[in-house]
Amino acid sequence: MAPQDPNAPTDSNGVGLLVTGVVMLALAYFSMALRTYVRAVMMNSFQVDDWIMLAGLANFSVSCSFIFAGVSSGLGRHNKSLSQYDEIQALKYQALATASYVSNMWLIKLSIGLFLFRLAVRNRYKWILGVSIVVVGIWSLVLFFWNIFQCNPVAAQWDYTILQNDPSSHCVSVDAVVNAAYALSALTILSDWLYALIPIPMIWQVAMTTQAKWSVIIVLSLGIFASVATLIRLAFLADLTDVSDILRTLHKTPVPMR
């Protein structure tokens, strides 16, 4: 189909999005395979948090499939370099990927929170973890449903012709979308640091050798590095305001959907 603007730039980040998605999916499946083998086969102790993490992997797979489908329609390219049909299709897959990204964050945090809750012995740690699980759950679900219903009708979120032709249709402001993105990032960063650091005092009081304690603490604290991707994303959230070329500006630097 012919582009809406024949003079629009034709550069694309589609390849970068595809490579990032494939690499992250491969790492996720490999890590989950190792976890499943250890917990189900070696330890014979496959718990609720493991099932939730499997659900998170399935959700992440769906999210990546939306990205891949979006790239085939033009995700990563300049909006006006696409036909109107392809632009709307790419915007739809971008919206679906965003919604699934929010639910994926919730499933991962829920799994980690429940795992640490099982490890906690003292009530104060159980209280902290219990409250965090509830707060993260409520915060995530509110953002998830807000994201889905930010436009009325829902399809107006990606099909801008609805807003042009139906006076009763409407969407929230661009500033509200940016604020929601910052809220999700804040939730992700705070929970990453909480779940990475709280094992330190929990493990230190367990009857283990100092070397064993440090080994376990280092492994559990690796979650701190998970917040790096989110911190990087903060620098690009302002690009959400450029709705006229959002397919390109939002994906100008491929960042893993962790």
CA 36 – CA 43 distance, rounded (Å): 10
Residue 183 predicted with pLDDT over 60: yes
pLDDT at 96: 94
Residue 228 predicted with pLDDT over 80: no
pLDDT at 56: 94
Residue 167 predicted with pLDDT over 80: yes
For all residues of the chain together, what is the average pLDDT?
Answer: 84
3-state DSSP call for residue 115? Answer: helix
Lowest mean pLDDT among 6-10, 137-141, 209-213: 209-213
Mean pLDDT, rounded, for 78-93: 90
List, for residues 40-65, the tens digit of each pLDDT value: 888 888 899 999 999 999 999 999 99
76: left (phi over 0), alpha (psi -120 to 50) or beta: left
Cis peptide before 201 (omega within 30 of 0): no
Higher pLDDT, 130 or 249: 130
List, for residues 190-203, the tens digit of each pLDDT value: 888 888 888 888 87
- Model confidence at 100, pLDDT cuts 50, 70, 90, reads very high
The pTM score is: 0.83
pLDDT at 39: 87
pLDDT at 206: 67
Contacts of 125 (CB under 8 A, 6+ apart): 116, 198, 201, 202
CA 235 – CA 204 distance, rounded (Å): 36
CA 153 – CA 1 distance, rounded (Å): 27
pLDDT at 254: 40
Mean pLDDT, rounded, for 93-117: 91
Domain residue spans of the chain: 14-249
Strand partners, 12: 77
Quick count: other Cβ atoms within 10 Å of Cβ 149? 12
